[in-house]
Structure 1
Amino acid sequence: MMCSSVIFRALLINLLVGCVSSFLVHDAGLTLDVKLDLTHQVSSTDDRFLGVTLDSTLILYGHISRMDISSPLLKTLTQALSPAYLRVGGTKGDALTFNPSITGNRNTEFGADIWDKLNNFAHLAKWDMIWDFDYASLYKNYHWDPSNAKTMLQYSQDHGYKLPCFQLGNEPNLFYYFYHVWVTPQTLARDYQNFKTDVHSFPQYRDACILGPELTDISDPNHKKYITEFLQAGGGKALDGLTIHHYYECSNTFPISLGWFMDLRNFEAFENQLNIATQVVKQYAPGLPLWLSETSTVIITCPGEPNLRTTYANGFLYLDKLGMSARYGLKHVIRHQFFSQLVNSTYDFTPFTDYFVTLLYKRLVQGPVFKVLTSTPTVRMYAHCANPDSYQKGAIVVYAINIESADATLSFSQFHGQQFHLYLLTPGDQDGLTSKYIALNDQKLEMNGNQLPAMNPKVVHGANTVTLRGRSYGFVVLPDANVDVCKH
């Protein structure tokens, strides 16, 4: 009977391997004794570490005009992620100017009513808005024309709008590709210095932080050269944060597929980007905070199935990106974008799986970051102090991503006999990795009208191990860890 059972199970696994989008395969897997270096922190995060973006296309194409910012559901979803930065920008932001004398949109101009609505939305959400000013279309005679920005700043000051930070242009290393405009890094550095002076000349914004230069893919030697020369030309002196963008690479030979989300090349490539960025800052702008000011996983131009970016599978790279960014000491990570990747759209606010991943991360993770000594390439782990708004000081949280098809057993002998609070995330229905739903401790997460679902942990006493299912991820909180670094 046992032999028949084993044969049947083997046949079942072979069948399911070719259809991982529908089921999770469980098999005997790795056992790891989780060891943490709690003697010192490698970095730290604050309550605004994780924020979100709105893309400029939402303004350019009028979607914001039709959005119901008074929606109780939208209020619930946005305020649950507060406090957070809201960065408004993107490629089309460099073809977008402010005209207070018009209503709505007219070609590449937007009126005061749209700007008012954006500021009211940020206020209702309890988010702090970062605005990215148009650069490319206002670049004339080898310098940026600040007149439109000054008009917008004056209007904003007159209306008492509180904007903590500003940016100038989006991905200037790609200006020529999108706008046939070439801006040298030396010119950009000069314009940023003038931009800072202009912004701070307004009393309302004299303390506003200046962020830039919004470069993407600095693993490309030409792009690395651009940001290096920008800093060498004094651009860093105008900045309060050096900002870069990141998306995982794809090509005709490396198209988007289900396996793409668990491919080690993606995880390794992001760490390579962080290595390059942190070394550039260390060498040319020591002490300048590094931000990941626009980032996601799949971009629409990638070959393959773009709808996978709103499924459970997207969470592997997303959660790992948060852990890696915190470990490398990034100041903030701004997820692109709230409408279309965290919630459905500006008129249908149904939350996707990554919304709940974002919400759990903000609820559970905050403060000092610790080194995990037993993380592996395929069972990836990160450790922080637990958010003191959710747990008593001294508690820690470990979040883990298992990209193997087999289960992983995590042993916590370092915390023998302590209780665990488990927040384990798996697909929310039979669609498996391609599910549009996510389950917390096997309970599908869905809104209850305008209210969030209960997201309570599974409390385990006396056991020293946690089973992390194959191709799943989640959080383990140790509320009684009593870690000294987390008490201060």
Structure 2
Amino acid sequence: MNYLKSVPFRMCLMVVVLIRSRFLTVPVRCVGVGGQEVSGSVMKSLLLLLSVLSLRTHGARSSYGSSPDRVPVLDLHLDLSSLLHRLDPRFLSVTIDASLAAEERSMLLLRTQKIRTLAKALSPAFLRFGGTRQDFMVFDPKGGQQLTAAPSAEEACGAVQLPALLEGDLKQNWTQQLLLLQKEEHQGRYRRTQFTELTVDQLQSFSSCCGLDLVFGLNALLRTAQNRWNSSNAASLLRYCESRRYRMSWELGNEPNSFEKKAGIRVDGGQLGRDFTRLRKMMSESSLYRDAGLFGPDVGQPRDHRADILGGFLQSGGGAIDACTWHHYYVDGRAASLEDFLDPTVLDSLAVKTGEVLETVKRASPGTPVWLGETSSAFGGGAAGLSDSFVAGFMWLDKLGLAARMGLDVVMRQVLVGAGSYHLLDDDLNPLPDYWLSVLHKRLVGPEVLNVDAVSGAGGGRRVRSYLHCANRRSYRDGAVVLMSMNLSPRPVRMQVPVPVSNSTVETFVLQSDRPGMDGLRSRSVKLNGVLLEMVDDETLPLLAGVPLPPSDHLQLPAFSLAFFVFTDAGAAACR
């Protein structure tokens, strides 16, 4: 490799800055006292230091080589005195799509070490098992003759790992199964499938060993001649779960507004509410499930008769549920574009739909908590090449921030693993960018929501979006706050913060694609503070450390970036 002429170490900063500013494109070899070459690890640390120092300035030139007064400035107003909402500690939760059980052997993937390591990092959270195919699944107990015996408690939690050969075979079969599921999805035809104790055992083992609270979705399309819910199959499942002392919560049906389209059966809101009341009565007769959670109706976002279904359901069945659940997606995955994922108007649509749901619940069943029971970027399985790439993080972080600010207690991300392109883990169970974003949110962000307003000074506009929480008290002392911000623009932005946060040390966590520019938005890899995020091994996540920066009244948000700024010494009264 041809190097630029060896450079004395005291000149390295100047040369590296030129490289970072893209004036030079050749590698540099720095030498110290006596001509000894500076190690690669030292140079890597130097580059990282330069990257993060540019995020917080007192008016110095930015790392993009432009004058500060040419960079848009946002003036942030932070209210540290009072809370807007206090959310469930399991606010960020995840789902496993019921399609995973379409071929029941695939459920054994939940015993792999990698997926358990990744799932544990998202605890505490709910784990919802459901989706379209839950309403085409029937419990078929084998009386102990299932495909494999239920693992012991010690084995279930990882003392015995899934053999590598079996794991590889399961992954290959699952990849083939996905093609069949996608074909059925496009044709709108769903075959009825059966599941045994194996599915339930694997879900319970996985959730309990990973610190997740299981929510199991029951089939609501088992109907009587009078179009009432036929509860006999669910009763059989509840009896089995109770015999094994499996603690879990329940749902009934997925998106009842689409029953007619998917199965030729129409169920109105009033009847659905009575079905839930029947399920609640069954649960009340169980010593184990009388106090368990029941959530629903998992209706699609309000539109036309969907609003009528939700209102009718709450009137007849609102007293049976512990939380009202609805689903939200921004765009159609078959037609979505890259621009949709960066469009503030598209992101703002969540607030409109949330407002409609909250108003309906307030009228029909005041005081009932409202959850996003299933949500992601694009419906129809996601947008291939977008929902599983870095750009999806803008929709995901904005949804987490906006949902919290509007008081939605829980947001269940579709999916941790399962069919579609909106998964957090790929087909080989490797984490995608939204997974890393979720883990950072889980570690840094507390359930207490604060208010932040932004005033644009020079064109920052709606492409910079910010949300404020108390910092997670498991990670930070009382009074610390965390600012979540995103820059949808190809230009860096400076944010001015007021006292007292400007007097606080800040820990900075900035996520960017591993590739620059618009092309990088489609990447399936992400960097944290300039370092590529990858698992160390199947049992170990990388060190997700922030970079401490000194007090200042300005933060710089790079182009196309997602960031968490933790003000460790803010002393927020609302966070004590």
Question: 2:575 & 2:454 partners in 1: Cα distance?
Answer: 21
Question: Is contact 1:261–1:314 with CA below 8 Å preserved after alignment?
Answer: yes
2:419 maps to 1:338: no
Match of 2:45 in 1: none
Change (3 A) 1:235 1:68: closer
Separation in 1 of the partners of 2:288 and 2:381? 40
**Matching residue within 77, 82, 88 for 2:118:** 77
Deviation at 1:137, TM superposition (A): 3.2
CA distance, structure 2, for counterparts of residue 392 and residue 301 of structure 1? 40
CA displacement at 1:344 relative to structure 2:
1.2
User: Would the alpha carbon gap of residues 251 and 77 (structure 1) be closer, same or farther in structure 2, given more than 3 Å must change?
Assistant: closer
Give the residue type in structure 2 aligned to 1:440: L
Q: CA deviation at 1:103?
A: 3.4
What whole-Å deviation, never above 9, does each CA across 1:59-97 have from its counterpart, x for those lacking one? 12335334151x332222111111110000001100101
Shift of 1:393: 1.0
Q: Distance in 2 between matches of 1:120 and 1:379?
A: 42
- Aligned with residue 220 of structure 2, among 129, 135, 146: 135
Residues 1:318 and 2:396 aligned together: yes
Q: CA deviation at 1:301?
A: 5.8
Equivalents in 2 of 1:462, 1:63: separation in Å?
A: 54
Tell me the equivalent position of 2:503: 417
Structure 1 residue 465: deviation in Å? 1.4
| Mapping for residues 260-275 of structure 1, pairs under 5 Å | 260-275=340-355
Q: In 2, are the aligned partners of 1:367 and 1:384 still within 8 Å (CA)? A: yes
Amino acid across the alignment from 1:35: H
Instruction: Give the whole-Å Cα distance in 2 for the aligned partners of 1:119 and 1:296.
Output: 24
**CA deviation after TM superposition for structure 1 residue 217, in Å:** 1.8
Q: Which amino acid aligns with 1:87?
A: R
Residues 389, 524 of structure 2: 8 Å contact kept:
yes
SS of the counterpart of 2:331? coil
TM-score, normalised with respect to structure 1? 0.89
C-alpha deviation, 1:157, in angstroms: 0.6
Specify which of 305, 311, 328 is matched with residue 222 of structure 1: 305
Residue in 1 that maps onto 2:71: 29
Partner of 2:521: 433
Is the 1:74–1:349 Cα contact (8 Å) retained in structure 2?
Answer: yes
Read off the aligned partner of 1:186 and give its amino acid letter: G
CA displacement at 1:208 relative to structure 2: 0.6
Deviation at 1:179, TM superposition (A): 0.5
- AA in 1 matched with 2:566: V
Structure 1 contact 298–306 (Cα < 8 Å) conserved: no
Within a 5 Å distance, the mapping from 1:109-188 to structure 2 comes to: 109-163=194-248, 165-188=249-272
Provide the rounded CA distance (Å) in 2 between the counterparts of 1:436 and 1:466.
27
Distance 2:307 2:65 in 1: 43
CA distance in 1, matches of 2:474, 2:525: 27
Give the match's secondary structure for 1:136: coil
Distance 1:317 1:291, change over 3 A: same
Displacement of 1:119 after TM fit?
A: 1.1
- Give the corresponding residue for 2:138: 97
Length-normalised TM-score, structure 2: 0.76
Q: Which amino acid aligns with 1:74?
A: I
In structure 2, the CA distance between the partners of 1:63 and 1:334, relative to structure 1 (3 Å rule), is farther
Relative distance call for 1:63 and 1:398 in structure 2 (3 A) is: farther
Which residue pairs with 1:40 in the alignment? 82
- Contact conserved, 1:418 with 1:464, CA < 8 A, in 2? no
Query: How much does 1:372 deviate?
Result: 0.8
The equivalent position to 1:307 in structure 2, one of 371, 382, 385, is 385
- In 1, the alpha carbon distance for the partners of 2:294 and 2:389 equals 35
Which deviates further from its counterpart, 348-357 or 104-113?
Answer: 104-113
Shift of 1:395: 0.3
Residue aligning to 2:482: 397
Q: 2:329 aligns with which of 237, 244, 247?
A: 247
CA spacing shift, 1:89–1:141, aligned 2, 3 Å: same
**Worse overlay, 323-332 or 412-421:** 412-421
Q: Is the 8 A contact 1:48 1:332 kept in 2?
A: yes
| Superposition deviation, residue 245 in structure 1 | 0.5
The one-letter code sitting in structure 1 at the alignment partner of 2:199 is I
Which runs of structure 1 show a deviation greater than 4 angstroms over 4 or more consecutive aligned residues?
25-28, 104-107
SS at match of 2:551: coil
Q: Does 1:470 align with 2:548?
A: no
1:387 and 2:472 correspond: yes
Instruction: Give the alignment partner of residue 360 of structure 1, picking from 431, 440, 444.
Output: 440
Deviates more, 1:358-367 or 1:57-66: 57-66
Question: Could you tell me whether the CA contact under 8 Å between 1:401 and 1:474 is conserved in 2?
Answer: yes
Distance in 2 separating the partners of 1:55 and 1:328: 27
Alignment correspondent of 1:292: 372
Identity %: 32
Which residue pairs with 1:20 in the alignment?
none
More displaced 10-residue stretch of structure 1: 404-413 or 473-482: 404-413
Please report how far the alpha carbon of residue 51 of structure 1 lies from its aligned counterpart in structure 2 after TM superposition: 0.6
Distance 1:301 1:358 in 2: 20
- The one-letter amino acid paired with 1:343 is L
Q: Deviations over 1:337-379 (max 9, x none)?
A: 001511113xx22100011000000001112211112165221
SS of residue matched to 1:273:
helix
Shift of the 441–151 alpha-carbon distance from structure 1 to 2, 3 Å rule, reads same
Q: For 1:51 and 1:97, how far apart are their aligned partners in 2? A: 26
Is the partner of 2:489 in helix, strand or coil?
coil
* Residue type of the alignment partner of 1:76: T
- Read off the aligned partner of 1:202 and give its amino acid letter: S
Contact 1:26 1:405 survives alignment (8 Å): no
Matched, 1:191 2:275: yes
Unmatched 5+ residue regions in structure 1?
10-24
CA distance in 2, matches of 1:126, 1:271: 31
SS of corresponding position for 1:128: strand
Deviation at 1:107, TM superposition (A): 5.5
Aligned AA (1:91):
T
* C-alpha displacement of 1:263: 1.2
Larger-Rg structure? 2
The letter for the 2-side match of 1:229 is: G
Distance 1:251 1:67 in 2: 27
Instruction: Name the Cα RMSD after superposition.
Output: 2.2
| Secondary structure, aligned partner of 1:135 | coil
* Residue 201 (structure 1) shift: 1.1
Query: Does the 8 Å contact 1:300/1:306 carry over to 2?
Result: no
Q: Distance in 1 between matches of 2:127 and 2:375?
A: 13
State whether residues 64 and 114 of structure 1, in contact with CA within 8 Å, keep that contact through their aligned partners in structure 2.
Answer: no
Matched, 1:203 2:287: yes
Letter in 1 for 2:300: T
AA matched with 2:317? G
